[in-house]
């Protein structure tokens, strides 16, 4: 199996590059470190890039900065792995530098329809009431952000993992302009090839909706993993095995 590819990882909202620590460690253990290099990226305002004024940064500006981070690190022939809201950024990165990437891997990524914001993906209904909307498992107006995240994103994490996410949530500010964006573009996707990892226990988007996002992102392959939204934390070795297979294609 070809392990020469470099990996770049991009987190979702309320997270930072630290999200991938266990997954990268699993890759090293499974390959004795013989897979190339791994770079955990940080969206401005998150992870190792805190305290910045990020309100005016849109998807294109974020994508350009992340590409610069990859180039500065010397990575080539990159397997670009994104999680959750990173699904809004990876297509912009490919549009700017398609030659930089070997394959894209979307892990439970969101892909809003053109004209739709990321939060509007859920719609206005409770889950199951409207087949055209993901719906909300609980009323977001009647709970705190932490309670909502606990139901949507942390449903299968251990108490220790949940506390880690809860503690770090305020430190990682995804740029608001990106979350309010509506000008999503997907027509250019398909080269490089891409894979979507469907997380079967994900409570933020049921598997059928993840498959809708995969089609929107023009993914040629679907891989299913028995994990919740944070598969890189709850099942790092299983996800590492998926990435090794996808890198070898």
Residue 51, pLDDT score: 83
Residue 179, pLDDT score: 86
Residue 30 CB neighbour total at 10 angstroms: 16
Residue 94, pLDDT score: 97
Query: Do 221 and 211 touch, CB atoms closer than 8 A?
Result: no
Query: Do 2 and 248 touch, CB atoms closer than 8 A?
Result: yes
Per residue of the chain (249 residues), what is the pLDDT tens digit? 444 689 999 999 999 999 999 999 999 999 887 778 999 999 999 999 988 888 889 999 999 999 999 999 999 999 999 999 999 999 999 999 999 999 999 999 999 999 999 989 999 999 999 998 999 999 998 999 899 999 999 999 999 999 999 999 998 989 988 889 999 999 999 999 999 999 999 999 999 999 999 999 999 999 999 999 999 999 999 999 999 999 998
The rounded distance, in Å, linking the Cα atoms of 26 and 3 is: 14
Q: From the CA atom positions of the chain, what is the Rg in Å?
A: 17
Residue 55, pLDDT score: 84
The rounded distance, in Å, linking the Cα atoms of 162 and 136 is: 20
C-alpha distances in Å from residue 87, one per residue of 84, 127, 179, 200, 213: 6, 22, 12, 18, 9
The residue among 132, 162, 168 whose CA lies nearest residue 13 is 168
Residue 1, pLDDT score: 40
Residue 18 CB neighbour total at 10 angstroms: 17
DSSP letters for 78-103: EEEEEEGGGGGTHHHHHHH-GGGEEE
Residue 53, pLDDT score: 86
Residue 32, pLDDT score: 81
Residue-range domains of the chain with CATH: 6-247 (3.40.50.1820)
């Amino acid at each position: 199996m070809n392990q020469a590819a470099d990996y770049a990882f991009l987190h979702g909202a309320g997270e930072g590059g630290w999200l991938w620590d266990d997954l990268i460690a699993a890759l090293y253990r499974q390959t004795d470190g013989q897979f190339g290099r791994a770079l955990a990226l940080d969206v401005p305002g998150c992870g190792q890039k805190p305290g910045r004024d990020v309100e005016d940064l849109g998807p294109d500006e974020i994508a350009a900065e992340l590409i610069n981070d990859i180039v500065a690190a010397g990575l080539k022939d990159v397997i670009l792995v994104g999680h959750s809201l990173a699904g809004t950024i990876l297509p912009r990165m490919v549009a700017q530098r398609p030659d930089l990437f070997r394959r894209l891997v979307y892990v439970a990524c969101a892909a809003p329809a053109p004209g739709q914001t990321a939060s509007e993906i859920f719609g206005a209904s409770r889950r199951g009431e409207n087949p055209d909307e993901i719906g909300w498992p609980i009323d977001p107006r009647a709970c705190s952000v932490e309670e909502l995240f606990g139901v949507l994103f942390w449903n299968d994490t251990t108490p220790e993992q949940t506390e880690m996410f809860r503690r770090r949530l305020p430190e990682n500010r995804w740029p608001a302009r990106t979350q309010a964006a509506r000008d999503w573009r997907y027509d250019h996707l398909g080269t490089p090839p891409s894979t979507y990892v469907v997380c079967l226990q994900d409570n933020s988007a049921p598997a059928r909706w993840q498959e809708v996002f995969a089609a929107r992102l023009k993914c040629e392959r679907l891989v299913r993993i028995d994990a919740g939204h944070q598969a890189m934390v709850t099942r790092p070795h299983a996800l590492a095995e998926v990435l090794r297979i996808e890198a070898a294609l």
